[in-house]
């Protein structure tokens, strides 16, 4: 399908220049898909494959690099307030949806890893606006096994205003454990727009607080959603997606776990696996496109719970994980695994 790729810059309410991009079909799009990228990532390069696949399926795809990320201005990967990211995305996405040619189009959020948290918070900010969400290995809960002790959080909180931008959080190479295909892994590593340094103190704390808040309010999620997770994910725990699926109040919700797949479902797996994942995503979008009225948990006309390829047996989980390399200890923040924070963690 023929499409047009566009880039532009806007300024947020704090005067910071933000990079935006969009992939638009030459004909009227089926619906709009708004991209929420992960921590340390960006839209124009890293999410190009996602944009082109969805636009070739007939969707208009809109992305924005968060402040401090990708081609946007601001201190690299410094998140002073997580609400700033949400408000910037909200203002920009709403402005696009309000354009005359798109007013009657369905609106979907698409979030990967930390972008999953951004998507869920955008939904909570205006529950009646979105028609659904695609959540790929989302960051939305902290495993009880690795949640930091309250004393540790209190100590870090006391010094965050003194050294907010210090890159002092211990880190490991998450790219190595997130992307299975070695060629794609090196391509991602060579992307200079992707942040690959240690997390800043305040950034880590903001992500921790966001995860804890989401964990406590998963029942407030009401929009239709499709959550996808690799069973061999060593960055975010598949059980986090299961918790979202089980606790969300949404009537129309789907969880799919992929045996043997890692964290980078859409960009780090072998081509055959990526094709499978995007086929599932596009199928879900096609089924939910057409009616511009959002379907909420209390709407009364939802098609009902959808659940497929959901594996609950421990034997299946072990089989998938057995295909993964030795798991590095990850982070205790943001639903990431382990006890050491990883950088460029999507």
3-11 and 17-25 as β-strands: parallel, antiparallel, unpaired? antiparallel
CB of 51 within 8 A of CB of 35? yes
Structure tokens at 149: 């002790």
Percent of the residues in the chain that have a pLDDT greater than 70, as a whole number: 78
Q: Which two tokens stand for residue 263?
A: 């964290």
Confidence of residue 346 (pLDDT cuts 50, 70, 90): low
> What is the pTM (predicted TM-score) of this model?
0.83
First to last CA, the chain: 29
The answer to whether 233 is a known catalytic residue is: yes
**Residue 338 located in a structural domain:** no
- Is residue 328 included in any domain, yes or no? no
The verdict on residue 331 lying in a domain is no
Cα→Cα distances 313→45, 87, 232, 237, 307, Å: 37, 40, 14, 16, 15
- Asked whether residue 336 is domain-assigned, the answer is no
Query: What is the SS3 assignment for 53?
Result: helix
If you count them, how many residues does the chain have? 346
**Catalytic residue status for 69:** no
Q: Read off the CATH number of the domain in which 78 is found.
A: 3.40.50.1820
pLDDT in tens, 65-113: 999 999 999 999 999 999 999 999 999 999 999 999 999 999 999 999 9
282 located within any domain: yes
Q: What is the tens place of the pLDDT at every residue in 149-176?
A: 676 677 777 777 777 887 876 556 778 8
Gyration radius of the chain over CA positions: 19
Q: Are strands 3-11 and 31-36 parallel, antiparallel or unpaired?
A: unpaired
Residue 83 in any domain: the answer is yes
Quote the strand ranges of the chain, DSSP E. 3-11, 17-25, 31-36, 60-64, 106-112, 132-136, 225-230, 253-258
In a domain, 334, yes or no: no
Q: Does a structural domain hold residue 339? A: no
Catalytic pick among 65, 233, 237, 280: 233
The catalytic position among 72, 106, 113, 177 is 113
In which domain, by residue range, is 67 found?
A: 3-321
- Whether 123 is a known active-site residue: answer no
CB 11 within 8 A of CB 42: no
Residues 134, 255: Cα–Cα separation, whole Å: 10
The closest of 32, 167, 173, 160 to 108, measured between CA atoms, is: 32
Per-residue model confidence as pLDDT tens digits over 296-342: 554 433 333 334 444 333 333 333 333 334 333 334 333 344 333 33
Task: Indicate which residue of 263, 288, 341, 343 is catalytic.
Answer: 263
Say how far apart CA 109 and CA 188 lie, in whole Å: 23
Domains contained in the chain, number: 1
> Can you give the pLDDT at residue 291?
52
């Amino acid at each position: 399908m023929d499409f047009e790729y566009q880039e532009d810059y806007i300024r947020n309410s704090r005067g910071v220049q933000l990079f935006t991009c969009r992939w638009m079909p030459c004909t009227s799009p089926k619906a709009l898909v708004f991209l929420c990228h992960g921590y340390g990532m960006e839209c124009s390069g890293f999410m190009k494959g996602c944009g082109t696949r969805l636009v070739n399926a007939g969707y208009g795809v809109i992305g924005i690099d968060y402040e401090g990320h990708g081609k946007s201005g601001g201190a690299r990967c410094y998140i002073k307030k997580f609400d700033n990211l949400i408000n910037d995305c909200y203002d920009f996405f709403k402005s696009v949806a309000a354009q005359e040619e798109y007013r009657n189009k369905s609106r979907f959020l698409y979030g990967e890893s930390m972008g999953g948290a951004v998507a869920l918070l955008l939904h909570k900010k205006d529950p009646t606006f979105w028609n659904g969400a695609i959540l790929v290995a989302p960051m939305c809960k902290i495993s009880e096994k690795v949640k930091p002790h309250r004393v540790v959080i209190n100590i870090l909180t006391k010094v965050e205003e003194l050294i907010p931008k210090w890159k002092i959080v211990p880190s490991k190479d998450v790219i190595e454990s997130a992307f299975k295909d070695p060629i794609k892994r090196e391509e991602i590593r060579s992307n200079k727009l992707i942040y690959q340094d240690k997390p800043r103190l305040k950034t880590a704390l903001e992500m921790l607080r966001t995860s804890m808040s989401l964990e406590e309010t998963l029942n407030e999620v009401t929009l239709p959603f499709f959550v996808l997770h690799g069973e061999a994910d060593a960055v975010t725990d598949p059980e986090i997606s299961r918790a979202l699926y089980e606790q969300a109040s949404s009537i129309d919700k789907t969880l799919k776990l992929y045996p043997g797949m890692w964290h980078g479902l859409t960009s780090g797996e072998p081509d055959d696996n990526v094709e499978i994942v995007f086929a599932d995503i596009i199928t879900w979008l096609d089924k939910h496109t057409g009616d511009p009225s959002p379907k909420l948990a209390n709407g009364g006309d939802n098609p009902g719970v959808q659940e497929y390829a959901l594996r609950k047996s421990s034997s299946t989980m072990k089989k998938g994980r057995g295909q993964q390399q030795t798991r590095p200890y990850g982070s205790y923040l943001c639903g990431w695994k382990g006890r050491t924070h990883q950088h460029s963690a999507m």
